[in-house]
Amino acid sequence: MADEASKRAAGRMAADMVEDGAAIGLGTGSTVRFAIERLAERVADGLSFVGIPTSHQTAMRARRLGIPLASLNDAPRLALTIDGADQVDPALRLIKGRGAALTREKIVAAASDRLVIVVDEPKLVGCLSSPVPVEVLPYACAFVERRLAALGGTGTVREGARKDGPVVTDSGGFVLDWSFGPIADPSGLESAVEAIPGVVASGLFAGFSEKMVVIVGNGSGCRVVRPGSTPPRSAW
């Protein structure tokens, strides 16, 4: 319940940052759900904006709540995107993709003037270390696995829940969950992984720190972390 309250506080604070007339990206995940619910309340109160969803799940949820939607082709520049993360390090680099929407999330983040990341305290880590989701073309899956193994670590194709076979992303890709252990150079690893032919995108988001705001929900409310404001790693 405490985790849910923390996520709700962070999501609602992020939703209150949306300005009238904006085009915004809507990420995927449990914390973003609370932002979408708050945005629906603001729409009912007269807020006008358009949302660009990063997944079918987000689109369905937003549509049910009466939030107007468009595609990135309709609005290729976004005022901000609200999204979650699986891990955040003190340099505001992320691992994302547990919801298998990493490719669209990365595209929408790149199209946004600001990236608002909503998390609860356990997502803050001194060093990124959780498995890195990697979206791949099904045709190249075995080849990509071999090339990832050459970079280090181990992984496997993500299997579906309540279905046989692999998870298939909204873009038709497979997801490899690859454990590299503690990642000393997230930016370098992101570049190396995404240089492999057949990789669509990795769940390492190391290039967005300068335009990022992280809203951290906790038992007493929220705190906001901006570039250059993070404490020493030991106090993070």
Residues carrying an active site annotation: 105
Q: How far apart, in whole angstroms, are the C-alpha atoms of residue 13 and residue 224?
A: 10
CA distances from 88 to 39, 120, 125, 156 (A): 24, 10, 6, 23
3-state class of 114 per DSSP? strand
Helical ranges in 97-215 per DSSP H: 102-110, 141-151, 186-194
3-state class of 21 per DSSP? coil
Q: Who's near 64: CB < 8 A, 6+ residues apart?
A: none
